Every structure is written in structure tokens, then in C-alpha cells.
Structure 1
Amino acid sequence: MDISAHHSISINEQYFGQEQAPILVVDNFVKDPEALVADAKKCQYVKNSPFYPGPRAPAPLAYQELILRTLKEKMVDFFQVPTPNLKFSICHYSVITTPPDQLKLLQRIPHFDSLNENGLAAVHYLFKEDLGGTSFYRHKKTGFESINEARHITYLRSLEAENDGPNIPKISDGYINGNTPLFERISQQQAVFNRIIIYRRNSLHSGSIPADLFDNTSQSKIRLTISSFIDCE
């Protein structure tokens, strides 16, 4: 499978929230996104994460190489990472399959993927229907929009205290997709076919999963992404 960059790739630098967190929004990323979709359909998927609400399968190594070849210089400069030596720790085709009433508590609130401020995450949208993009949040009690080592204990203690309060997300609330008593949505990236977004992994975020995602089991309703973690070597 030939995985190459699109001739009209578009790279936009954006910032969000009071902390002005950086995010890259890259449209028309790969030349043939349909080839990735076809490849994803042939893969063997497994549920290999206690937090991701669905199964995943390894994405092609050539895909990782394309990101580094095409976007590494921009990522190093824009996110001010301390070294140009980047590597992938995760790169998976990912599909959300967990019904809202089966989510664990930590899957019903925004999350962060790492305390490392230099760790990056990338989400590549490979679906055409309106199945939700990615939202970023502020924790109202602490005001935190990202979690690092210095904030970690304070944030966890605050969440534990809120677990006993009336505003803790209930099973019936399902996926978070907007403001709640505990969190405020500060930015929302739309899911555009063949768009990839890249952001710092310590930002509080969640997929913007629509309530009707599970109303239809047809193939066209599959929310396929490529989810990646990129680290400094």
C-alpha cells in the first residue's frame, strides 16, 4: 500500500483555552485515505486498553514514517519539544464500540494521556459521517486545562472529593460531549475526513461522541480513527 502525502496538504497552527495550548490541524493529510480505510477493514482488532472504549489494531509502519517525514519539523518547532528525535509509542486503527451505558466512570469524563508536557497525541479522522471530533476541557474546580506533575495530586484529590458529590457523572450521562457541572468545554475540533489533529497529551480532552452513534450498526456508522502517541527519544 502506497502511503504518501496529499498534494494539497494544509497545516494550520491554532491555540485554545486560557492556557493557550497549541494544536496542529492538518487537512488533506494522506493522498489516498480510502486505502487506509480499506486496510483497516482487514485488520484483527483487540481491546488492549482499559480506558479506550473500543478495539484497536496496529496501523502501518509506513504511516508513522509519513507523519515524521511530513510533519516532524513543524511539530518540533510548534510544540517546542527539546529534541528532533521523535518516535511513536502507539499508532493504532481505533474504533469506538462501547455503548454509553457500559462506560466506566473515567470514560465519562475528560482524560489526559500523559503528565509529560513534551508527549504528543495525534488523531486522524477516517470517517465521513458526523460521528464527532475531539473536545478539550477545563476542570471547573481547579481551573486546570492540562495536567502535569505539579498539578497531578491536586487534580486527583479534587476528583476524589467530587466523587461524593451530586455532580458526579451518572451512567445515564454516557459520553461527555459539552459542558457539565464539573467540566467546561473550551475548544472543539470537528472531525473532517482525512484531517489529523496533533496536540499535547496532557491536555484534558475527550472524543465528542454523539448520542446516536450506537443507534445504527451499519458499516457507514463506524467511527474509525488512527490514534497515535509521539514521544521524544
Structure 2
Amino acid sequence: MSGITVHRIGREAQPLVIIDNFAPYPDVLRAAAIAAEFGPALHHYPGIRAPLPTSYMPTQQPVIAEVLTDVFGQPGPIDLIDASYSMVTSDPAALSIHQRLPHCDAFAVERIALIHYLSEGDGTAFFRHRSTGFETVDQSRAPIYLGQLDAELRYGSEPPRAYVAGDTPLFERTLLAEARFNRALIYRSYVLHSGAITPDAKLSPDPATGRLTVTAFLSVEKI
């Protein structure tokens, strides 16, 4: 698979697939984002989102399906849960506690996350929870992890009002995937991760100058 590299995250060695030159016409996608109407994001995302061109997923699905089969061992039919242009725009001072921590997008093993960078800038970081040692949180681990994290936040100090990009008292960074224009990352949604937003990051809501990405969430049916 040309332009595709596979990395293993931390001790649990979950796959992270990095695909350079992901989309055939990235400048067209960027132009469409500049013309799109963005609105507030849901589900704790610290920024804004806009609809994608309808051709995006059909165009990219063949390479996604190849990766899911060859790397993740998940060759079943792909169900698109959500996909949109996304931009991180929230001021660090306005972040909720959970927006200042690494997170999982879902606890189910069949769920897959994709991020496609349409700008240069900050990448994506992956983490290990120090006290449990968890780098992934599936349905069986969720009660343990959430209970322990709640206790640490309740009886310890709050995380600083900043995006989490590196090591903290509660989390150790295991890998940093750098952002490059037209690079995509594919990983399982239950891996602990965060946008590695640096203190000097441009948080502009303008797609021409801000951190423009496509984020997508997929589910792969078992066969």
C-alpha cells in the first residue's frame, strides 16, 4: 500500500495507520471547507464543524477498506457513523475538565476513528493512563477507568486550563503523530488520544488559516 505506514502505539501495540497523500484533490476539499457554513460542534469537541461534500466518503472508502482489512483484520461492511469538517477553536481558558484530558471516542472494538489533516500544524497524541496502565478503554475496562479517573480528579488537582499535548501527572504520552497537509490517521476509537494543540496554536475559525481537518467515525460489521 503506497504512502501507508503502520505504527504500534505504546505497550498495547494498537495499530495507528498513517496515510500520506490521502485524498486525490485536497485543494478542492480545502476550497469547499472555506465556502462551507460552520457551526458549534457536539459531543465535547472544542470547536466547530461543517458538512463534507457528499463525494468524500465514496472517494476515500476503497483505501479505508483496504486498511481495515489488511491492518485491523476487520474486513466487514463499513457503516459511517459521522463525518465532517472540524476545527479546534475553543480558547484554552474555556475548556471543560474533560476537554483538558485524553479521551476515547467509543468503547466498542469495531469502532474506528479517522482524522484527515487539511492544514499544517498540530497533530494527534496518544496516551497511557498512569494509575491503571490503560492505553485503550473498552467496555470491560470503562467502569474501572472512569471510576479511577473520577477519584483522581475529585481528590487531586484539576488539570491546567490548556489542551493536553504531552505528559501530565495522570497521563503519559506514548506517541505523537505529526500533522501534514493531506495526511490521514486511522486508529481504533477506544485508544486514549487528544489533539496535540500547543499553547501557541492558531485557533482561528477561518478554514483558510485555522486547524482544518476531516474527522470521521466508522463501525465495521463483523462477518
TM-score band by shorter chain is over 0.9
In structure 2, relative to structure 1, the CA distance for the partners of 1:216 and 1:31 (3 Å cut) is closer
Partner Cα distance (2:52, 2:217) in 1 = 12
Please give the residue correspondences for 1:61-80 in structure 2 after superposition, counting only pairs within 5 Å.
Answer: 61-80=54-73
8 Å contact from structure 1 (residues 29, 196) kept in 2: yes
Question: SS of the residue aligned with 1:149?
Answer: coil
8 Å contact from structure 1 (residues 13, 23) kept in 2: yes
Partner of 2:25: 32
Question: SS of the residue aligned with 1:180?
Answer: coil
Q: What is the aligned-residue RMSD (CA, Å)?
A: 1.8
Partner Cα distance (1:159, 1:22) in 2 = 25
- Per the TM alignment, residue 219 of structure 1 is displaced from its structure 2 partner at its CA by 6.4
Please give the residue correspondences for 1:40-79 in structure 2 after superposition, counting only pairs within 5 Å.
Answer: 40-79=33-72
Q: Does 1:177 align with 2:165?
A: yes
Partner of 1:123: 115
In structure 2, relative to structure 1, the CA distance for the partners of 1:227 and 1:217 (3 Å cut) is closer
String of CA shifts for 1:118-143, please: whole Å, max 9, x gaps: 11000001113xx2100000000100
Q: Give unpaired runs (5+ residues) of structure 1.
A: 1-7
String of CA shifts for 1:163-198, please: whole Å, max 9, x gaps: 123343033xx1001000000000010001110000
Higher-strand-fraction structure = 2
71-80 vs 218-227, which moves further: 218-227
Partner of 2:138: 148
Partner of 1:223: 211
Percentage of pairs with the same residue: 35
Question: SS of the residue aligned with 1:75?
Answer: helix
State the TM-score, normalizing by the size of structure 1: 0.89
Structure 2 letter corresponding to 1:100: P
In structure 2, relative to structure 1, the CA distance for the partners of 1:28 and 1:219 (3 Å cut) is closer
String of CA shifts for 1:32-52, please: whole Å, max 9, x gaps: 211111000111111131410
Q: Does 1:204 align with 2:196?
A: no
- The number of aligned residues is 221
Structure 2 letter corresponding to 1:134: T
